Structure 1
């Protein structure tokens, strides 16, 4: 099928052919006044699209679009994977078993037989042993829906009840145990099983622990008063345009810190390849996936996400993954934009009279993602997002290299040739020739691919840092360190209208792909609402931030943070080694001793100490498994601290990093009371660097609260929890995972 085409090689050959053309044809692609369609027509002329391999690929994709697309499913492969999973399960290798069972679920045919049901039931057992109780319940429900053998219902109903018991959902647990007992009424010789379930039923009826199920089920927050003009936004936000600043968002009234300003679903989104096996391909939540009924690639967290995906776009993309995996994320997302728009909207756009693209700004000082003049027509239609709101985003001709534009063009033509019949109405197909229709679709794909370089957004999730021993989330004697990870790329039309600032006044967060924008500080009436595109104060130097923004978004940032004194405080915080008083940063003379200090010698000592410290950090994974080695790491880290404390004045990030690592080492030894003071010493530096009310401080307080909790230090734990809750709710609202964990910890302490 499509795998017969080595697309990267084809793209390389096409680029070389284009480069070999005459000067006029070679460079007209960079003419700012050319329409996308003119460039597409040039690409269709220059490249040999009658190549047999390309023809075979196009025919395969078009054939796949017409077929039932279920030939990749295999009952024998599903059974083989399930049996391998069973072998690993018997050896208590639950993670390995989970992987095999998931493969079995993916390839099992949806033919009404019990192959798929058995795979779901077996996976539910692995999930139960891994402590993933909600996912286990979902798999049990899928197994029962898919025809799981009646004589085995007792087993999965008991497991489902145990999952609810672990989740402290006692009424649901009681119901499932009762169902299991009723199933046993028709089976003889199961007295032992009956006694076992009755004991569990009694446990669910007489709880010995606090139930958190109801009080932690916090409803999702919505915007209190929505704008009638700006899609998915609060009435506190409006869109304006200013010469040199482009379109931007502005506050229509005073906005309080923590207020929800925008809540927007992506117009279209694509999951990253490395997250495909562990996340839903539609809402991007972590899950134990259920498959598409026809292909083995698409995975979903629920039947609802699967149904929505099939309705909105996957029914067209299904079975074409071998080609789509070879094109860039932007090209693939551009195709999904067209599929999402639908046949009628695309047909209407194609029939519109075409005009030359507005001249893009070639200035390197532009500070806007969206610089097109005029009103945002797509946003003035009753506050609803439509395809025009995507078409209206700025595409920035001059922000792409010649080679990028060639590759975008060639990819757009190939995708148009494969999918054009699926994208427009039959009437449009009848009024245009095949070549004209392909050129129209390819030109739209090229437009969106160009737009996405500066208008796409990362969908991220907060999860435990990779490589950390975080099981249990402070309930089982460990402390969870969290970081942000990118899981998908999306386009959000309203959010795309915010300009950048290295110190933003909002923060984005994601839940099931929905982007929520909250104010992180008070925003006054008339102030611009500004978002950080990535490079942020505290994480990067001024020069590094400006270079990153220039490379990605093609503008030189001139926000307040970039135009003020760029010197780092870290370089000014050194002590006199004799008396401990601060050194004069300009003269290197101690004000108390009145002697000159060779700062280079001190810097060399700090550098050598940090090299030693880096080596200790590398030893940590091995030390986790060796108590003696961990004691040695702690001792040597303490020596590093002594050197840094003697030379550097807090707040200094070298000190904060070292304090944090010492806390981490004590945590590995379950020495929570020893860990807490070290992390507490690091927090003032984090406050100084990122701000007292920053999300970085919230993350540190989250760790500190867990340390106090595990150390049974109730008063300081409650203090850290309350402050962390205040910051997390301000930044992410009530429905955040960290908020739920902190509330659960607080409830435990209040009932202690």
Structure 2
């Protein structure tokens, strides 16, 4: 996907409703099965099977659930009621209910007969069923023959899947077709030949369990390819989960120092949305309002440039080798984005060790990270023009303070050696020291980091645990690099802990320390920094720090960059912060 014209930062570049969507099983009791918003206390269930739950009549109707009507059949269990009472009840239920869009394909209608199989089958299989139904209904209207493979022209990785995954997809496909046959008997016939070929596939799987099966599918079963397409192209519909504010934010109980969570509530396939390629340093950001996908530009993008989103962890979250391993396992491709093909500060420091030389900020890498960064360096050196540009870019990024030797064209990266002063560090001994540092304290047989996190979760942090955590952090700083992400995580935990015990200035200091590290990993305007600044601003307000106004301004700018005019809707807590800023 390329942009035709220049795209300004914080511009909405795409908006799209899903081709098909399904709620995740863990959210079936808490979120609407159509719009994926939280259910109200008076949720509405399907009038026929009573299993799906909806937040409104509109969502119930859109999903295709049988709706309430005024016929006597609607009151089969209430025969003793008077007719005028029945009419009153139906008027109340149907008041303001919109009619179903004739172009809309109902999602629940085919699932509402007999046993409710979406309750049992994996979400991806249910989603495949809803896509098949949509294709059948569209072809009915167009009087065309069904063609289930390639109907969305989406990529898949079936050929690269291990035999176990292929076998699972074939079995689920047969189960899915049997389920759909209850509603579509003629459009989805399951012939004896298909079952016979499936049996042959299973026999060959067990006969060659330890060997690779043929590269080509052993039989043409179109839903299998559809399942593979869903696995690669579907998106998780997420909601921002933050604690509810029940009073003024300057009261200690309403300080937001815990992490804001992105909760996956649904899974959906978006036709155009699937054509955005991946980058570990994306220039666009996705978010959801109800089930509608929104794509926002987070940088100024020149005309002709590709629009790229992140399929998984970005630069700053994981290092290069871990990002590439996940993308290879999940999507069957080797990432070659700028974040994975060029050196960057984040990948060098995120898991780095500290130099043994006093006051040296040089990084020391272990063998696995060194191997990955060496490969990047080799690719750059083999392309002199790109290498020259990369060197200038790195100098601008102040990489010299942690790895100045990378500017030398003949330099060879070596594990366990500082990339500034070349000092040596025995990482095996360092790892042993780390294990000893965070191991059980004499006063407890529980892992120290887990004890601190459990104490935070219980909103009660004993003094001995807090003191042990501070001591542990001081020792970790002597081993890990100052910009190592693990240091940022322990600083964040300490900020929460000190807030709970009422030492707010100490909480602010640790929160700032965490943010300073994350700014090195992500950059100063990344959404991760905005989330951390919300914590800082909450603490600053509690102590009456005038710097809170500046933090809130930064938060507003960052969240607007990623969510545009919807920032307040996505982050309800932001409204409280801005209200406090206006009051000051």
- Judge same fold: TM > 0.5, yes or no: yes
Label 1:670 to 1:589 Cα distance change in 2 as closer, same or farther (>3 A).
Answer: closer
Match of 1:89 in 2: none
Match of 1:80 in 2: none
CA contact (8 A) 2:117 2:179 kept: no
Label 1:314 to 1:648 Cα distance change in 2 as closer, same or farther (>3 A).
Answer: closer
1:637 to 458, 469, 481: 469
TM-score with structure 1 setting the length: 0.55
Match of 2:374 in 1: none
Q: Which runs of 5+ in 2 are unaligned?
A: 65-99, 101-105, 195-219, 365-413
Label 1:438 to 1:258 Cα distance change in 2 as closer, same or farther (>3 A).
Answer: farther
Residue 462 of structure 1: SS of its match in structure 2? Answer: strand
| Matching of residue 734 in structure 1 with residue 565 in structure 2 | yes
Q: Distance in 2 between the 1:473 and 1:553 partners?
A: 46
Written as runs of structure 1 = structure 2, the 5 A alignment for 1:482-631 is 482-565=260-343, 568-570=348-350, 574-576=354-356, 579-582=358-361, 601-602=429-430, 604-611=432-439, 615-620=447-452, 623=455, 630-631=462-463
Written as runs of structure 1 = structure 2, the 5 A alignment for 1:27-42 is none
Written as runs of structure 1 = structure 2, the 5 A alignment for 1:269-280 is 269-280=21-32
Match of 2:3 in 1: 251
CA contact (8 A) 1:659 1:678 kept: yes
Label 1:643 to 1:469 Cα distance change in 2 as closer, same or farther (>3 A).
Answer: farther
Q: How far has the Cα of 1:286 moved from its partner?
A: 1.7
Residue 460 of structure 1: SS of its match in structure 2? Answer: strand
Q: Distance in 1 between the 2:419 and 2:311 partners?
A: 42
User: Larger RCO: Structure 1 or Structure 2 (Cα < 8 Å, ≥ 6 residues apart)?
Assistant: 2
CA contact (8 A) 1:630 1:665 kept: no
CA contact (8 A) 1:343 1:423 kept: no
2:155 to 394, 405, 408: 394
How many residue pairs get matched? 458
Q: Distance in 2 between the 1:406 and 1:571 partners?
A: 38
CA contact (8 A) 1:509 1:517 kept: yes
- CA offsets 1:242-280 (integer angstroms, 9 cap, x no match): xxxxxxx00112112211111111111111111111111
Match of 2:537 in 1: 705
- CA offsets 1:652-694 (integer angstroms, 9 cap, x no match): 2232122211111012124333311110111111011122211
Q: Which runs of 5+ in 1 are unaligned?
A: 1-248, 358-371, 373-387
1:454 to 232, 236, 240: 232
Label 1:437 to 1:261 Cα distance change in 2 as closer, same or farther (>3 A).
Answer: farther
Residue 2 of structure 2: SS of its match in structure 1? Answer: strand
Q: How far has the Cα of 1:500 moved from its partner?
A: 1.2
CA contact (8 A) 1:576 1:590 kept: no
Q: How far has the Cα of 1:615 moved from its partner?
A: 2.9
Match of 1:268 in 2: 20
Q: Distance in 2 between the 1:447 and 1:622 partners?
A: 44
| Matching of residue 676 in structure 1 with residue 472 in structure 2 | no
Q: Distance in 1 between the 2:237 and 2:460 partners?
A: 42
Written as runs of structure 1 = structure 2, the 5 A alignment for 1:131-146 is none
Q: Distance in 1 between the 2:583 and 2:171 partners?
A: 65
- CA offsets 1:419-455 (integer angstroms, 9 cap, x no match): 347459xxxx5xx89667998xx95534422321211
Q: Distance in 2 between the 1:689 and 1:647 partners?
A: 18
Match of 1:33 in 2: none
Label 1:348 to 1:561 Cα distance change in 2 as closer, same or farther (>3 A).
Answer: same
Match of 2:385 in 1: none
Label 1:348 to 1:708 Cα distance change in 2 as closer, same or farther (>3 A).
Answer: same
Q: How far has the Cα of 1:572 moved from its partner?
A: 5.2
Match of 2:45 in 1: 291
1:327 to 108, 113, 121: 121
Q: Distance in 1 between the 2:170 and 2:473 partners?
A: 56
Q: Distance in 1 between the 2:515 and 2:535 partners?
A: 11
Q: How far has the Cα of 1:701 moved from its partner?
A: 0.7
Label 1:434 to 1:595 Cα distance change in 2 as closer, same or farther (>3 A).
Answer: closer
Structure with more helix by fraction: 1
Match of 1:445 in 2: 223
- CA offsets 1:345-386 (integer angstroms, 9 cap, x no match): 25747527x79x7xxxxxxxxxxxxxx8xxxxxxxxxxxxxx
Label 1:348 to 1:597 Cα distance change in 2 as closer, same or farther (>3 A).
Answer: closer
Q: Distance in 2 between the 1:438 and 1:691 partners?
A: 58
CA contact (8 A) 2:316 2:350 kept: no
